[in-house]
């Protein structure tokens, strides 16, 4: 792991969010955000005034949809200072800048669901395990998780280049990591244009 790039908040600046697969960032987000918000709403069906944390929320599009369309209590966590400053205005003050591997950012059982999309590929394996533990620690009930999986087309540096991508694991490996972190696999859904989304329930 000595040759891994050192990632800082500046690694995910304006240039990052306007290059590579992010060139049409806002347009791409608009194509899936409605379906993602509906899926989260369905998962939390029956819970009164559900609370949701989006860990790795970028500009906060998902939590904005959950708040503005469904009235949910939302919070965001984002590593990039640029993304926090450029976040959707209606949720900007609800986004905390910080590292997903820092357990102290939120108390145990703070949210009915914690959502984490496309973050883990930017972490080392020890960081992935720590982050999974934190997601399970912060939620009361559900973790909604997706990332770039090994062997998928999106994992190819030729098709989807990203020099900041450090680790890609298989779906089976991620299931094991979350099981060891205190989650129980609940079901698999799809709301990201073909990407597998895992739902874990806290044990």
Q: E strand or H helix at 199, and its extent?
A: strand 195-202
Residue 3 lies in a domain: no
**Number of domains into which the chain is organized:** 1
pLDDT at 9: 55
The CATH number that applies at residue 185 is 3.40.50.150
Could you tell me if 51 and 72 are in contact, meaning their C-beta atoms sit under 8 angstroms apart? yes
10, part of any domain: no
Whether 5 is in a domain gets the answer no
Q: Is residue 6 a part of any domain in this protein?
A: no
CB atoms within 10 A of CB 52: 27
| pTM score, whole prediction | 0.88
In a domain, 2, yes or no: no
Decide if 154 contacts 124 (C-beta within 8 A): no
Q: Which residues of 172-191 are buried (b: 16+ CB within 10 A; e: fewer)?
A: eebbebbeebbbeebeebeb
Considering the domain boundaries, does residue 7 fall inside one? no
CA distance linking residue 58 with residue 34, whole number of Å: 16
Classify 169 as helix, strand or coil: coil
Interacting residues of 129 by C-beta distance below 8 A, sequence separation 6+ = 177, 180, 181
Residue-level pLDDT at 187? 94
pLDDT confidence of residue 1: 33
Q: Which helix (H) or strand (E) holds 97?
A: strand 95-97
What pLDDT, on a 0 to 100 scale, did the predictor assign at position 69?
A: 95
Structural domain contains residue 184: yes
Which residues constitute the domain of residue 22?
Answer: 15-98+105-202
Tens of each residue's pLDDT in the chain, 203 residues: 334 446 665 667 777 766 555 555 666 677 778 889 999 999 999 899 999 999 999 999 999 999 999 999 999 999 999 999 999 999 999 999 999 999 999 999 999 999 999 899 999 999 999 999 999 999 999 999 999 888 776 656 665 667 778 888 999 999 999 999 999 999 999 765 557 899 999 99
Question: Looking at the domain assignment, is residue 110 inside a domain?
Answer: yes
Residue 161 confidence (pLDDT): 63
Q: Which own/partner pairs from 179-186 qualify as long-range (CB within 8 Å, at least 24 positions apart)?
A: 180/129, 180/132, 181/129, 181/132, 181/133, 181/135, 181/136, 182/133, 182/136, 182/137, 183/132, 183/136, 183/143, 186/142
């Amino acid at each position: 792991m000595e040759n891994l790039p050192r990632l800082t908040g500046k690694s995910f600046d304006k240039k990052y969010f306007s290059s590579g697969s992010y060139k049409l960032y806002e347009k791409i987000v608009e194509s899936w955000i409605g379906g993602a918000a509906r899926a989260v709403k369905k998962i939390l069906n029956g819970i009164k005034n559900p609370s949701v944390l989006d860990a790795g929320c970028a500009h906060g599009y998902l939590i904005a949809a959950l708040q503005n369309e469904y009235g949910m209590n939302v919070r965001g966590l984002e590593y990039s200072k640029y993304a926090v400053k450029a976040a959707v205005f209606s949720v900007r003050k609800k986004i905390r800048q910080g590292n997903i591997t820092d357990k102290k950012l939120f108390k145990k059982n703070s949210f009915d669901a914690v959502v984490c999309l496309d973050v883990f590929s930017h972490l080392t394996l020890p960081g992935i395990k720590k982050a999974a533990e934190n997601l399970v620690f912060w939620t009361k009930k559900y973790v909604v998780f997706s990332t770039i999986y090994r062997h998928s087309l999106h994992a190819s540096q030729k098709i989807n280049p990203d020099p900041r991508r450090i680790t890609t694991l298989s779906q089976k490996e991620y299931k094991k990591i979350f099981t060891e972190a205190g989650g129980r696999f609940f079901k698999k859904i799809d709301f990201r244009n073909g990407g597998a989304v895992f739902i874990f329930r806290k044990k």
